[in-house]
């Protein structure tokens, strides 16, 4: 779209918004009218700074949509890798609770039995699940 068309559309939307804001001012008071006027000026400001042209180009350009899709894929991959790393590290918060804090290392918390020494290859989460099942009489 040309800059003239974008500016004309933005000016029309701003004028319509200011007209509605004037009505809000008369019905609901100055605060509502000023808030409406502030939002009404946003399309005109976007057109004057070039943001509207960028958004119009984005909406009608397959190459830019492909770029948005690649950026979305990058975010998904990053979040997935973070979840995988936290899972491999043992769940984060649970390892700190179980692991050796010097203050509570000698005594067990109320309601929990002292953990027995496990072989080095045993998964601590599975051992905890097995312990819960044994305590409830499920084997």
Who wins on pLDDT, 97 or 39?
39
The number of beta carbons lying within 10 Å of the beta carbon of residue 85 is 10
In this prediction, residue 105 carries a pLDDT of: 47
For residues 95 and 89, is the Cβ–Cβ distance under 8 A?
yes
Give whole-number Cα distances, 22 to 10, 18, 45, 53, 130, in Å. 18, 6, 19, 28, 69
Q: What angle do CA 123, 76, 94 make, to 5 degrees?
A: 30
In this prediction, residue 91 carries a pLDDT of: 57
Express as a percent the part of the chain with pLDDT over 90. Answer: 29
| Single pTM value for the model | 0.44
pLDDT band with cut points at 50, 70 and 90 for residue 123: confident
**Going by C-beta distance under 8 Å and a sequence separation of 6 or more, which residues neighbour residue 39?**
17, 21
d(CA 97, CA 116): 16
In this prediction, residue 93 carries a pLDDT of: 52
pLDDT band with cut points at 50, 70 and 90 for residue 17: very high
Q: Which two tokens stand for residue 120?
A: 């080095």
Please give the average per-residue pLDDT across 17-23, as a whole number: 95
d(CA 104, CA 114): 12
The model's pLDDT over 67-91, given as tens digits with 9 standing for 90+, comes to: 888 889 999 999 998 888 888 777 5
Residue 66 has phi, psi (to 5 degrees) of -65, -40
For residues 37 and 18, is the Cβ–Cβ distance under 8 A?
yes
Who wins on pLDDT, 120 or 46?
46
In this prediction, residue 3 carries a pLDDT of: 83
Please give the average per-residue pLDDT across 16-39, as a whole number: 93
């Amino acid at each position: 779209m040309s800059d003239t068309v974008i500016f004309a559309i933005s000016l029309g939307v701003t004028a319509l918004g200011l007209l509605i804001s004037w009505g809000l001012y008369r019905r609901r008071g100055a605060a509502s009218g000023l808030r409406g006027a502030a939002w009404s000026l946003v399309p005109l400001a976007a057109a004057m700074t070039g943001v509207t042209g960028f958004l119009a180009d984005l909406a009608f350009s397959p190459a830019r949509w492909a770029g948005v899709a690649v950026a979305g894929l990058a975010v998904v991959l990053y979040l997935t890798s973070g979840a995988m790393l936290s899972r491999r590290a043992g769940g984060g918060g649970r390892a700190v609770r179980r692991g050796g804090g010097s203050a509570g290392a000698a005594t067990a918390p109320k309601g929990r039995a002292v953990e027995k020494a496990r072989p080095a290859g045993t998964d601590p989460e599975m051992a905890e699940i097995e312990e819960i099942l044994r305590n409830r009489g499920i084997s």
